[in-house]
């Protein structure tokens, strides 16, 4: 595809439900990032993949958050037993890591609302 | 906790005005990004800078590495420029990780 896509765009969950958010990066992009953006705030780093390897998960707020990228392309961010404080926009970004550019391209985000 | 500071947080301007948004950061960086976010969440990269100045249409971005400061300027502002503008940096200390650290954004409203 032409850009990074994410699905669903909007998700409403009841507290305690599990959710799965999907990211399709730009084809061939090696690096993939997940960010969490609370209302009125800038995004904050969650986790980073280089191909299928999760090289940094230091930003995941709790062990209820889990991310995977098994084949080095599509990634899924899973949140178990959702809480109200998980309500946020979840952004995915990818980059090619060619040369020195390392520019990140962002998806449209998934807005998660936990009731 | 946020190591990237933006100012102002909110900015209202009349159409045609010259706009400046500022960003400062704390330690050495390998790159600084200016991003635009419209309602609905999608983020568009406007500039990526490591030194000097870049211009694209009515947008100009500058960076002063010694002062750890960057500015985004919009000339002849228009209501369609209304959006949140976010500064983000990649710190040199990030090592193998390449994540960005973001400012909290500047909400710009341009009135007709």
Contacts of B37 by beta carbon, 8 Å cutoff, 6+ apart: B43, B44, B83, B84, B85, B86, B105
Sign of CA dihedral A74, A26, B63, B58: negative
Cβ neighbour number for residue A13 with a 10 Å cutoff: 17
Mean pLDDT, chain B, whole residue set: 90
Average pLDDT over residues B70-88: 96
Name every chain A residue with its beta carbon within 8 A of the beta carbon of B96.
50, 55-56
Q: Specify the pLDDT at position B38.
A: 87
Q: Which residues of chain A have pLDDT under 50?
A: none
Q: Which of A50, A104, A108 sits opposite B42 (nearest CB)?
A: A108
Contacts of B66 by beta carbon, 8 Å cutoff, 6+ apart: none
Rounded-to-integer distance, Cα B85 and Cα B6, Å:
9
Of A64-78, B34-48, B55-69, the poorest mean pLDDT is in B34-48
Name every chain A residue with its beta carbon within 8 A of the beta carbon of B46.
none
Q: Specify the pLDDT at position B95.
A: 56
Q: Which of B40, B99, B102 sits opposite A42 (nearest CB)?
A: B102
The Cα angle at residue A25 between residues A23 and A31, in degrees rounded to 5: 110
């Amino acid at each position: 595809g032409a850009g990074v896509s994410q699905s669903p765009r909007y998700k409403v969950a009841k507290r305690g439900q599990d959710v799965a958010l999907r990211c399709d990066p730009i084809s061939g992009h090696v690096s993939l990032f997940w960010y969490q953006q609370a209302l009125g705030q800038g995004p904050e780093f969650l986790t980073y993949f280089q191909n299928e390897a999760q090289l940094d998960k230091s930003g995941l707020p709790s062990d209820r958050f889990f991310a995977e990228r098994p084949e080095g392309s599509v990634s899924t961010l899973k949140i178990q037993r959702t809480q109200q404080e998980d309500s946020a926009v979840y952004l995915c970004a990818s980059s090619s890591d060619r040369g020195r550019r390392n520019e990140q391209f962002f998806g449209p985000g998934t807005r998660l609302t936990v009731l | 906790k946020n190591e990237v500071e933006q100012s102002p947080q909110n900015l209202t301007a009349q159409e045609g005005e010259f706009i400046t948004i500022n960003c400062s950061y704390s330690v050495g960086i390998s790159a600084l990004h200016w991003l635009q976010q419209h309602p609905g969440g999608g983020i568009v990269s406007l500039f990526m800078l490591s030194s000097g100045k870049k211009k694209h249409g009515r947008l100009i971005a500058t960076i002063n590495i010694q002062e750890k400061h960057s500015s985004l300027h919009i000339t002849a502002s228009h209501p369609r420029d209304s959006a949140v503008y976010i500064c983000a940096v990649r710190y040199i200390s990030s090592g193998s990780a390449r994540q960005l650290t973001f400012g909290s954004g500047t909400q710009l409203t341009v009135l007709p």
